[in-house]
Amino acid sequence: MYNHTNSKKLQIDAEEVILGGVNSPSRSYKAVGGGAPLVMERAEGPYFYDVDGNKYIDYLAAYGPIITGHAHPRIHEAITEQSSKGILYGTSTQLEIDFARKLRKAIPSLERVRFVNSGTEAVMTTIRVARAYTNRNKIIKFEGCYHGHSDLVLVAAGSGPSQLGTPDSAGVPAGVAEDVITVPFNNIDDFKTAIEHFKDEIAAVLVEPIVGNFGIVEPEEGFLQAVNDIAHDNGSLVIYDEVITAFRFTYGSATDIVGVTPDLTAMGKIIGGGTPIGAYGGRLDIMEKVAPLGAAYQAGTMAGNPLSMAAGIACLEVLEQPGVYDELERLGAKLEDGLNELIKNYNITAQINRLVGALTIYFTDEKVTEYNQAERSDGEVFAKFFRGLIKRGINIAPSKYEAWFLTTEHTDKDIDDTLDIVEDVFKNEL
Ligand code: PMP
272-313 confidence digits (pLDDT tens):
999 999 999 999 999 999 999 999 999 999 999 999 999 999
Q: Which residue of 24, 146, 185, 308 sits with most ligand 1 atoms within 8 Å of its CB, as the best mutation to test the pocket?
A: 146
Distance of CA 173 to the CA centre of its chain: 26
Task: Give the dihedral of Cα atoms 211, 69, 62, 53; nearest 10 deg.
Answer: 140
pLDDT of residue 160: 72
For residue 416, report the distance from its CA to the centre of ligand 1, in Å.
31
Tell me the pLDDT band of 158, cut-offs 50, 70 and 90.
confident
pTM given for the model: 0.97
For residue 5, report the distance from its CA to the centre of ligand 1, in Å.
32
pLDDT of residue 386: 98
- Tell me which CATH code domain 73-319 carries: 3.40.640.10
Q: Which CATH architecture best describes the domain 5-71+323-428?
A: Alpha-Beta Complex (3.90)
Q: What are phi and psi of 23, to 5 degrees?
A: -95, 5
pLDDT at 60 over 80: yes
Tell me the pLDDT band of 376, cut-offs 50, 70 and 90.
very high
pLDDT of residue 166: 79
For residue 63, report the distance from its CA to the centre of ligand 1, in Å.
9
For residue 26, which atom of ligand 1 is closest to its CA?
Answer: 8
Write out pLDDT tens, residues 15-38: 999 999 999 999 999 999 999 999
Indicate the residue type of 95: L
CB-based burial of residue 238 (10 Å sphere; 0-12 exposed, 13-18 middle, 19+ buried)? buried
Q: Where in the chain is the domain with CATH 3.40.640.10?
A: 73-319
For residue 244, report the distance from its CA to the centre of ligand 1, in Å.
7
Write out pLDDT tens, residues 65-105: 999 999 999 999 999 999 999 999 999 999 999 999 999 99
Q: Where in the chain is the domain with CATH 3.90.1150.10?
A: 5-71+323-428
What is the rounded average pLDDT of the residues 199-216?
Answer: 97
ipTM exceeds 0.85, yes or no: yes
What is the rounded average pLDDT of the residues 258-278?
Answer: 98
87's CB contacts (< 8 A; 6+ apart) are: 305, 306, 307
Ligand 1 pocket by Cβ (under 6 Å): 63, 118-120, 123, 146-148, 208, 212-213, 241, 243-244, 268
Q: Give the max Cα distance, the chain.
A: 62
What is the rounded average pLDDT of the residues 171-194?
Answer: 94
pLDDT at 163 over 90: no
User: How high does pLDDT run on average in the chain?
Assistant: 96
364's CB contacts (< 8 A; 6+ apart) are: 349, 350, 351, 373, 376, 377, 378
Annotated catalytic residues are 146, 241, 269
